[in-house]
Amino acid sequence: MKIIVGLGNPGKEYNLTRHNIGFMAMDILARRHNIQIRSRRDSAISGEGFIAGEKVVLVEPMTFMNLSGQAVGAFVRKFKLQPSDVIVVCDDVNLPLGRLRIRAKGSAGGHNGLKSIIQHLGSDEFIRVRVGVGEPKGDMVNHVLSRFHKSEMPTVHESVGRAADSVEVMLSEGLEPAMNRFNSITIPT
């Protein structure tokens, strides 16, 4: 079993913001695999199903970004899993818009949601799919909480779809093939 977490902030006012790219990827996976993300528990909404024959729980923490680890930790404990059974999809301001970077483990890289997950799991050994949302031109908080510009939306839709694709490849073929296939692609903006 794998726990697949999309990071974001709850509430309609955060829809289509840069910080919510993880929620967007979960919504795509849910649609593709007929998984209902409706169950409310452990400070999250979630849904269980199968992707590539693997049992999965799709999770969207409802704790706001900086406290995401509370929900992730609760799911790991509930299902008696290891941090390595977790895949997190999140935004990354250090990557150009549309670029993906998949890693098996590592630091939070300044991302408060990842920092919270590392703290609550007591480990950085979980997979992360970082989706580039572009560098801030000013204040970081305003940047990650801002909506994408209309001109950016085709790239956003493409990259979120590829993030979902990468999770499917990880589950069907493994981490290395996913890294080889998706870490090298750059989308023209």
Which structure tokens are listed for 154?
């085709």
Which structure tokens are listed for 33?
């695999």
Which structure tokens are listed for 58?
């799709």
Q: How far apart are CA 4 and CA 176, in angstroms?
A: 17
How many CB atoms sit inside 10 A of residue 8's CB?
28
Q: How far apart are CA 50 and CA 171, in angstroms?
A: 10
Note if 149 is an active site residue. Answer: no
Which structure tokens are listed for 156?
């956003």
Q: How far apart are CA 53 and CA 23, in angstroms?
A: 22
DSSP 174: -
Which residue among the candidates 19, 111, 120, 143 is catalytic per the annotation? 19
Phi first, then psi: give them for residue 173, nearest 5 degrees. -120, -25
Which structure tokens are listed for 20?
């919510």
Q: How far apart are CA 89 and CA 91, in angstroms?
A: 7
Mind telling me the catalytic residues? 19
